[in-house]
Amino acid sequence: MKKILILSMSLFFCFGHVHAQLRDDGYSGEIHKKYNSKVVFSNDEIVYQDENETMFQTEFSYEEPIYGRMYWYPGLNNIYDFYGWQALKGYYYQMEIYLNDELLSSDHHECNRGGCTTMPLCLNPVEGDDRGWLYSGFLSKNYYHMKAGVNTITVKVYPYNIRTEEIGELISSGSFTINLTKENISSSGNYYFNGLKTYFTSGDGLWNVWKVSVNDKYGELNTIHKGEKDRWEYIFGYCSGTISTIIEGDFSSFELKSGDISILMKQETKESNLSWVISNGDHEYYLRMEVIDGAKVWSVVAKEGKITFKTTWSIGEDVWKDWIIEDELHVGAEVKMAATFLVMINTIQ
């Protein structure tokens, strides 16, 4: 288990009177002194000892390049010495990225010099910059977590002892905002669900094929075997997988599999198929049905947002119609696919 060491770094200087400070990179310049313990951001690369402070910014828009630089002092070697850590496996720092105060990523990285006091960062490189930044494309890969409007991204840096898994006190942090529209998110390569409709008959003994509209393009959800409702497969965009009953012939629980991802679905109670629990292993989401103005409405409401499935027919009408999906749920596509499947399977059961 990781330990967080709460020791004020301000004591370092008192400590330095007793133990000689190790040689480190020191302050890289006046900008470093001014922004010590800060992470700063810009549309352009923030070059070591050649920073342009007028280019620093805290507000960005969709697909803008985002570079950064992390400043701290003293060097990691002195911070290790302060904590009494042995750098047998090198000097490391831990970087955490938060989205709207929720932890999105946490990784540790080796500093190429023990005495380093600043490191560059890139979350979205300019076109043509293919230098292999650690977090290149990080934001675009996580747009589905974001909401339409203003989102706050925070970067925090801690010293990290890889041998003992101890984390020291915060040494650098900074935030910026990114403003997205729903159209930005929908076109980003992440997946927003728009609709669901029958394509072939859902009768017994026949193929069951449904069209799923994702990012205004059609994917497909269909039975793997003719006349069987225990096993389904789906594909849309770059996503594909299978959905099966946990127990053959028992339609109260299912599992979705897509690569290494597994999503479990089960009725909240055995007595009713109008309320379901969807679990991705880390979080549970609840899909529930209610009748509003004579129409069946399914929805998942969570802290990450909401997705709603509304029929275009009245209760007594033929179910060979469309579902309109209003998707403002910022979770992975597999969870939303699971909810979409449950709406479909409970329509034809």
Domains in the chain: boundaries: 3-186, 193-348
Task: Show the tokens assigned to 68.
Answer: 């950064």
Domain 3-186 annotated CATH 3.50.50.60: no
- What does the alpha-carbon distance between residue 326 and residue 227 come to, in Å, rounded to a whole number? 31
Q: Measuring CA to CA, which residue among 189, 196, 186, 184 is closest to residue 60?
A: 184
DSSP state, residue 21:
P
Is residue 160 exposed (0-12), middle (13-18) or buried (19+ Cβ within 10 Å)? buried
304: alpha, beta or left? (left if phi > 0; alpha if psi -120 to 50): alpha
Contact 192, 147 (CB under 8 A): no
Coil vs helix vs strand at 327: strand
DSSP state, residue 56:
B
Task: Show the tokens assigned to 149.
Answer: 């409007």
User: What is the 3-class SS of 22-40, one letter each residue?
Assistant: CCCCCCCCHHHHHCCCEEE
- What does the alpha-carbon distance between residue 307 and residue 191 come to, in Å, rounded to a whole number? 12
pLDDT, one tens digit for every residue, the chain (349 residues): 355 555 555 545 444 444 567 888 889 999 999 999 999 999 999 999 999 999 999 999 988 999 999 999 999 999 999 999 999 889 999 999 999 999 989 999 998 788 999 999 999 999 888 888 888 878 877 887 788 899 999 999 999 999 999 999 999 999 999 999 877 776 665 788 999 988 765 555 556 788 999 877 888 998 888 777 889 999 987 688 999 999 998 999 999 999 888 999 999 998 889 999 999 988 999 999 998 887 789 999 998 889 999 987 655 555 556 889 999 888 888 999 999 999 988 877 6
